[in-house]
Amino acid sequence: MSFMRTSILLFIFLFQPVMAEDILPTISITASRTPIEVQHSSTTISIITAEQIAESKAVYVSELLQSVAGLNVSRTGGSGNITQLRMRGGEANHVLVLIDGIEANRLSSGSEFRFDKISTEQIERIEVLRGAQSSLWGSDALSGVINIITKRAKKGQEVTLSSSLGQRDYWRKGLSLGYGGDQFDIQLGADLVRTDGVNSIRLGNEKDGFNQKVLNLKSHYNFNNGAELGLVFHYKNSDGESDPSNSSDGYAEDDEKEYLSRVFYKWDSWQSRWQQQLAYSVVDQKNKNKQASARSTYDGKKHKWMYQSTFKLPVSNDRINRQSLTFAAERERDNYEQVTSSSSHKQRIVNYGYVAEYQLGFMDDFNFSASGRADDNDEFKNTKTYRLGLSYIYPDWGTKLHIAHATGVKNPTFTELFGWSPASFIGNPDLKAEHSKDWELGVSQEFFDEQMNLTVTLFQQRLKDEIASNKSYNGSINSDGESKRDGLELDLQGNLSGNIRYGFSYTYLVATEGVSGGDDKTEVRRPKHQWSGLLNYAFFEDKANLQLSADHIGKHRDVDWSGGSGSRVELDDYLLINMTINYAVASDLKLWGRVSNLFDEDYAEVSGYNDEGTTIYAGFEITL
């Protein structure tokens, strides 16, 4: 290792800024059914702000999330190829992803969210909740929730043009229009992106390209009586190339159209002590998969109604600072249609969810929360989940303690229930939902007049009835064993001399899969050791900033299917270093450049698949 590289690594290790929990009190809209201060929550929360997104110039959201403690990203090749995210050792479909409050997990693809098809453009903020959140948000939130919040128009009028270029014929063009008035605001954003990409697998040399069109609309109207009407609409049309498998350098193409929309109405009564909300959302996902000898299409639609009512209960004595009681009712109808070369079917599942949550703040420093949820499903057994949390703040010491216990649930997917093709994957209508029990214990400590914050969290999850492949790999079963996830998360963050932010995050994880009638085995794609960090230095009177980031992924196991038998292999650890520089030429013109994988590390996130190597990007943003 060269002296230059060693010096940079040592500097990053000692002085790294946070891409996680904010030091100052921050409001979270995901940690509760109603907005709550992060310091009052017993949930481990990480927030990626608009400033951090702008400074990093990360191309994809997955690059930002890789740096959050407890999260791990696995990508099968270059841009546009399947990218999975796991949280605290859970499965990729144990993480619920919301976009402006809309459930965005695919009805196909194992009900996972496709992180390879969402860039950082048009995003204002990302909230990450770790640990089971099913008592608030239902199925898919067994390991946690990620809420991606898009930009809202500012006061006045604003037109922003942006463009960037990169290696492998990468280019992106963006347009953002915003208007904000006293009662009405509207934000419209459009993005076009394309790249020739790299060969997805380590065989052959043809390039697998990717192109995508995105349109976002966000609008609000505030009535004179304080009520609010909101509308969100997201459209995405993507076309990505890949290879059929990690041992077949052939032709595969994935075309997708996705529409996400949500309309809501909020109003208050009794001097804002009674807050109500009515919302309706639609998710429409169409996917076509083409290979040399096979074609398949998927059409999934999710319709969801939600009514929520929050009562701010009166405070009867000096010991109680705040208390609220929230009730919510949801009706969700999922329609799924699949057509392959050998089969076709249509299915529908209707689910009713009922939520109750209680929040209590007492004696200034204690905060208690309790939530429970019951789901009535017309396809399989009904489920009940709960969560209990307690936090305590020592204001004189700058210390916060929190403890939480929760249960989680993950319903079987359409493919697991009804199959894919009689010749390759048969459905199992008798599957039960997966169930988990979680514990977490955390402590946060401030130092040097709140200029440094250290957070350490211990977590444990026990998963039963895990849905796994049968011995023939042509169907799904509920495993008899118990899967275990135990670990530790550490975040160190702070500021130096006003223009340097630093921090360090580390995750230790032991994740084992319960095997029926045998010993537990280590879960694949879950590294035991992982750390991330970045350094941000502002200069030229804050007109410019230089950022260095590092992600180290330890050795982990995967399954190699190239021989057809699915043998286990161990993938080497690797270290990725990125560098970004931003410069504001004027208040309305910004230039930037970024180098991903600065030292051209050769690595594999998934067995048999390629990495993109060193990639250079450059771009500008002009505001009119």
* Regions of the chain short of the pLDDT cut 70: 1-25, 109, 421-423, 515-520, 563-565
Q: How far apart are CA 354 and CA 329, in angstroms?
A: 5
Element holding 568 (H helix, E strand): strand 567-571
Identify the pLDDT of residue 378: 87
Q: What are the C-alpha distances in Å from 305 to residues 278, 290, 351, 587, 604?
A: 8, 34, 11, 43, 42
Task: Count how many residues are written for the chain.
Answer: 624
Q: What tokens were used for 605?
A: 């996130």
Identify the pLDDT of residue 87: 97
Instruction: Please list the alpha-helical segments (H only) found in 19-151.
Output: 50-56, 61-65, 134-137
Q: What are the C-alpha distances in Å from 245 to residues 76, 296, 526?
A: 10, 16, 21
Q: What is the pLDDT of residues 174-198, one digit of tens each?
A: 999 999 999 999 999 999 999 998 8
Identify the pLDDT of residue 521: 85
Nearest to 536 by CA among 8, 11, 16, 14: 16
Element holding 9 (H helix, E strand): helix 3-14
Q: What tokens were used for 351?
A: 């689910």
Please give the residue range of the domain that contains residue 379: 3-623
The residue to which tokens 């500097």 are assigned: 11
Return the amino acid letter for 541.
E
> pTM of the prediction?
0.93
Pairing of the two strands 144-150 and 95-99 = parallel
Identify the pLDDT of residue 200: 86
DSSP three-state, residue 169: coil
Q: How far apart are CA 278 and CA 261, in angstroms?
A: 14
Nearest to 207 by CA among 616, 612, 597, 619: 612
Domain count, the chain: 1
Q: How far apart are CA 458 and CA 489, in angstroms?
A: 7
CATH number at residue 566: 2.40.170.20
